Chains A and B, each alone.
Chain A
Amino acid sequence: MGISVKHISKSYDKVRALDDISFEVKPGELFGLIGPDGAGKTTLFRILTTLLIADKGEATVAGYDVVNDYKAIRNLVGYMPGRFSLYQDLTVEENLNFFATIFGTTIEENYDLIKDIYVQIEPFKNRRAGKLSGGMKQKLALSCALIHKPKVLFLDEPTTGVDPVSRKEFWEILKRLQQKDITILVSTPYMDEAALCDRIALMTGGQILQLSAPEAIIASFPKKIFKVRTAETYRLIQDLKVFTQTHSAYPFGEYMHFTSMESDFKAEDLIRYLKGKKHKNIEVLETEPTIEDSFMELSK
């Protein structure tokens, strides 16, 4: 009941949106597609949800071919597009009823599956969907995507534009859904959400850079990484860029993340260099790499 993608390519005119992509999602897995805008995530979703036909390659969802068995797939999958696409002029309950009906089911029949989510928006069930907050909209959209008990759930950037608290809640919901034997393919541009997936594929420019469990990806980070901070951030960026030892240097929160070309590079080496450049309040600490560091390294 998983997903299998083999050598899928898709171009729009001259832009290659997907370039020979292959991967497998195991049944019951929570699989993340991590990448910036334009990486090809949405195109891949549209192919897997039978909305778009690939130029090359083949793919199956829950054992069904996306081109030949599209009708079977449409019964089995739930899809939540990146853009909120429910009827804004219908109420919460009417939207849910509508999707239940066109899947030939009722809210009552599958209530247990959406219960956790729906109870949070039930107080607003007579409110028009267009008048809900961002987080509420996401929960309603997820409820609508789940109302027919799908085997596979496709979530295209479900947390984009949602506040941090709602984002956290949303991922907790996904974890619970996973317990109910639903295979989930989720895409996100947020690297911090990647750690919550079973496995992730780092994507950019229509290609997969690395595919593994998030811990494995972090563990395979090849270099020592330092977080650096001084009184003058802008000058720090400039100075790190021209430092002869620099392999990579990029902003990361309130720090700069720095890696060196030398494998035995020490924090003191950098402190000495920065002191020479007359920086004040210098702070250099070795730190653990994150998915974002891996992504920056891979996409260099």
Chain B
Amino acid sequence: MILELKMNTIRYIIQKEFKQIFRNKAMLPIIFVLPLIQLAILANAATFEVKNIKFGYIDNDKTSLSRELIEKFNASTYFNVLTDFPSHIIADADMLEGQVDVVLEIPLHFERNLLKEKKTDLSVRINAIDGAAAGVENVYVNRIVQQFNQKVRTELLLVGENINKLQNIATIPSFWYNETLNYKTFMVPGILVLLVTMITLFLSGMNIVREKEIGTLEQINVTPIKKYQFIIGKLFPFLILGLVLLTVGLIIAKLLFDIPIVGSILLMYGYSIIYILVILGMGLFISNFTDTQQQAMFIAWFFMVIFILMSGLFTPIESMPNWAQVLTEFNPIKYYVQVMRMVMLKGAGFSDIYQQLLKTLAYALIMNALAVYSYKKVT
């Protein structure tokens, strides 16, 4: 009888929360439109492929070989051959203005040196404002120059006296779990993580603060309602909301981007539930230490930005300095990104993700214990 009454209270609070959530006019668009827009824009825009490199050259040689080299760049899909600069002064000025990303300078006597002395120099200048892109561009340039080099050498040697067989070693990479190196396949699971995290953290974090702001919390605190009833009643709706968001996101990912979902859906949802509990605990914790929705929003943003940037979603964790890698151990988003990618793309099973699962579970327990402990019915 008493237990039934307690369950009744929790059920009623949950019911009330849902009513309030759906009476909020912004809520339905947030649940259905936001995932669509975020996935459609981010998955298409946030790629690391460097394409359409603005390429310029200074050809001081103007011979058939130099033109052949330039033709190689022209043929590459990565480079847009834009300009034939008469001098490097003009080329430098253009780079300063951002008109050109890569400038190749072919020296005078390029062909002659190559034929007679079997070696020559090339000068390449790359705009490194965006360091990551510059690195990639450098690799592309080198690859083309190498191919050219090999071709020229083969021709020269064939013409020459020795008929030694050339030893050619070519590497043909095979990309597992994402054969075509499709960035969307790689990004979409991560963006789903962002979506679920952001919305559940902000909504849950601001929900209790809102009750503080409008004064209803004070009225509720003078009732015999138990802490756990109130907290469960408050957080449960957002757990459901998070799962609904995940579902909407997955459907969009499948329909719009045809992202493979190799692994177990059940495992994915099981892990997601634990993960959302971490985020909800965090939201509650934030709301315990803030008095207005604005404060809660700023603090939530602060943690969100750090967690996202250090999650391995946009930059690989392996390339972070050691201390940062240690910090990422405490980043729940990192684990969720890993698990989503592993389960969706690789079909990872329980035994593959149990480490992440255990850590997230520990995180959920600690976070919620802290949140419940710091929630006070007395001011």
Which residues of A come within 8 Å of B, CB atoms?
46, 49-53, 70-71, 74-75, 77, 79, 81, 83-90, 94, 97-99, 101-104, 144
Contacts and interface: CB of A to CB of B under 8 A. Distances in A.
24 contacts: A49-B222, A51-B218, A51-B377, A52-B378, A74-B223, A79-B219, A83-B215, A85-B214, A85-B216, A86-B216, A86-B219, A87-B20, A87-B216, A88-B214, A89-B23, A90-B19, A98-B16, A101-B8, A101-B12, A102-B12, A102-B229, A103-B224, A104-B9, A104-B224
In the A-B complex, the 10 residue pairs with the smallest Cβ-Cβ separation, listed nearest first, are A85-B215, A101-B12, A79-B222, A102-B225, A83-B215, A85-B219, A75-B224, A74-B224, A89-B23, A85-B216
A118 B24 CA distance: 27
B123 interface: no
B216 A89 contact: no
B13 A102 contact: yes
A51 B212 CA distance: 13
Given A87-B16, A89-B20, A94-B19, A101 B9 contact: yes
B204 to A, nearest CB: 17
Contacts of B16: 87, 90, 94, 98
A81 B320 CA distance: 53
Contacts of B218: 51, 81, 85
Interface string B188-229: 000000000000000000000000001110111111110001
Contact of A71 (B20, B216, B224): B224
Interface size class of B (residues with CB under 8 A): 20 to 34
Nearest to A85: B215
Nearest to A52: B379
Given A101-B12, A102-B9, 15 more contacts: A46-B379, A49-B222, A50-B222, A70-B378, A71-B224, A74-B222, A84-B215, A85-B219, A86-B216, A90-B20, A98-B13, A101-B9, A102-B225, A102-B229, A103-B224
Interface in B213-262: 214-216, 218-225, 229
A53 B378 contact: yes
Contacts of B377: 51
Contact of B378 (A50, A87, A104, A144): A50
Interface string B5-37: 100110011001001100110000000000000
A70 B219 CA distance: 15
B378 A103 contact: no
Interface string B336-379: 00000000000000000000000000000000000000000111
Interface in B23-81: 23-24
Contact of A77 (B13, B19, B222, B379): B222
A86 B211 CA distance: 9
A161 to B, nearest CB: 14
Contacts of B379: 46, 51-52
A77 B223 CA distance: 8
A85 to B, nearest CB: 3
Contact of B215 (A50, A53, A70, A81): A81
Nearest to A49: B222
Nearest to B219: A85
Nearest to B216: A85
A275 B109 CA distance: 119
A98 B10 CA distance: 11
Contacts of B19: 89-90, 94
Contacts of A86: 216, 219
A75 B5 CA distance: 15
A182 to B, nearest CB: 16
Nearest to B24: A89
Contacts of A98: 12-13, 16
A99 B218 CA distance: 13
A81 B219 contact: yes
Contacts of A144: 219
B171 to A, nearest CB: 63
Nearest to A86: B216
Contacts of A84: 215
B11 to A, nearest CB: 9
B223 to A, nearest CB: 5
Contacts of A52: 378-379
Nearest to A82: B215
A104 B6 CA distance: 8
Nearest to A101: B12
A81 B218 CA distance: 8
A190 B322 CA distance: 68
A64 B379 CA distance: 20
Most chain B C-beta atoms within 10 Å of own C-beta, residue among A75, A97, A99, A101:
A101
B17 to A, nearest CB: 10
A70 B223 CA distance: 10
Most chain B C-beta atoms within 10 Å of own C-beta, residue among A94, A102, A103:
A102
A84 B218 CA distance: 11
Contacts of A97: 12
A29 B170 CA distance: 97
Interface in B85-111: none
Interface string B101-126: 00000000000000000000000000
A70 B225 CA distance: 12
Contacts of B220: 102
A51 B224 contact: no
A254 B50 CA distance: 82
A143 B315 CA distance: 57
A70 B377 CA distance: 11
B22 to A, nearest CB: 10
